[in-house]
Structure formats: C-alpha cells, structure tokens
Amino acid sequence: VITIRDRAADDRQGLVGYVFLHSFTSSQKSCLRKSRMMGSVRSGAVSLKGNPVDLAGKELRSGDQAPDFSLQNTGLEEVTLASSAGRTRIIATIPSLDTSVCHAETRKFNEQAASLPHVEVLVISMDLPFGQKRWCGAEGIENVKTLSAHRCTKFGEDYGVLIKGGP
C-alpha cells in the first residue's frame, strides 16, 4: 500500500516546497475533458506570488493511497507508480524546472536524496522530457528522477495539484 506522507513533518525537515503543476495547454484540454476529476476544483487552495490559485482534483491527505500514473522520463520511456514498487518514494510536483523556486527545490531534493538509501525521489512537472534532460545535465542532477506530465493533466488532477487557469 502506498500512502501519502504528512507534508508538515517533511516541511520541518526542509524537504517540501511548492506542490502544484502549471496550467494546461490547448492540446491537453481534450485529455482534461475526459478526466473524471475535473468537476472537483478547490478555489484558492494555494497562492502564487500572493494571489489565490485554484487547483483541480481532490486533495490527497496523509494515509490516502497514492493514485497510479503513467508519465515519461527523460529517455521518453513510460514510468508508472509500480515502476518503483518496493521502494519508499518522495513525489514532488512543480510547475517547471525553469522557475527559481522549483529550481532550488529540485536541487535541494537532489542533495538530500544522495543520503537516502532505498528512497526514490520523483520530481514531476509539465516540462517536456527534453527540457528536463537538458536542465538536469546542466545542473548536475543525478539523484532524483524527473518525470513529465506534458501529455495529459490526469496526474495533476489525480494528485490534486493541477493549477486550473493561470495567474
């Protein structure tokens, strides 16, 4: 059973930053319309630069089972939740590796992941896999795995972190 961790405890250890994805593109809207969770929108669930931001999807709580997903890694291979079965996973979602806060958060996870045996750190964004690969190479990121949710908004909705609309 995979459960969601208590973010407050992780935050006290400096492991948690922002947890949301950026708004979707027009090519992703067809996938979004098919989603079963679009009806669930949490108004003002988070803030961006001091402004309230709505998130689509149910908020996951400590003890909830983590939803399955299918995302792409930097080698364009499909990665699912089951791909790392048997390991402890830290899943961090960010809007983009090219934002200053997400950049710093991912670097911090990379540093701390080096000292966490048997823990897999997944950083998920809407960035294209090519951009993630470029960024990781330029920054020397080797201890976290970046995954792309660029094909569909289902991951963001299932995890309750998809920004609905834009700032």
Q: Which residues are catalytic?
A: 102
Token reading at 20: 């949301």
User: Angle, to 10 degrees, between the axis of helix 129-139 and the axis of helix 100-113?
Assistant: 60
Helices within the chain (DSSP H only)? 7-12, 26-34, 100-113, 129-139, 154-158
With b for 16 or more beta-carbon neighbours within 10 A and e for fewer, the 96-125 pattern comes to: bbeeeebeebbebbbebbeeeeeebbbbbb
Pairing relationship of beta strands 119-125 and 88-93 according to DSSP bridges:
parallel
Look at residues 25, 26, 23, 19 and name the one whose alpha carbon lies nearest to residue 5.
19
Coil, strand or helix at 30: helix
